[in-house]
Amino acid sequence: MKRLCLIPCGKKKIWDIQPERGPSAARDVYLSPFHQACRNYAQTFFADWVILSAKHGFLMPDDIVPENYDVTFGMHHPEMMAFDELKAQAEQKVLCNMTKSSCSAEKSTVPF
């Protein structure tokens, strides 16, 4: 099986410095130092990596993020993606087949 690196998104986004910029690839959206360090690690050591966003779920690097947003896990925001939606998205994007674990985890094992 392939290895998949899951990295966090970040609060600081491209629109914070370029408000006029339109929809952008996920790989270019998140600008926080921690996210960029995680992205550099993922790109160096993994062929496959995804960004986990509370609003958009699992983002492949080329997925388009349409606009700025401020949603984080734990804030119970109405736009936060629910666990069942994340699980379905992982199955749809075939992320489950890329890792040693399956998408059959129980809700209680998810850290958010």
**Residues 110, 67: Cα–Cα separation, whole Å:** 27
Q: What is the pLDDT of residue 74?
A: 84
The domains of the chain are located at 4-68+75-109
* Predicted local confidence at residue 97, as pLDDT: 62
Per-residue pLDDT tens over the stretch 29-56: 999 999 999 999 999 999 999 999 999 9
62-98 pLDDT tens trace: 999 999 999 998 888 899 998 899 999 988 887 766 5
Rg (CA), the chain: 14
pLDDT band at residue 108 using 50, 70 and 90 as cut-offs: very low
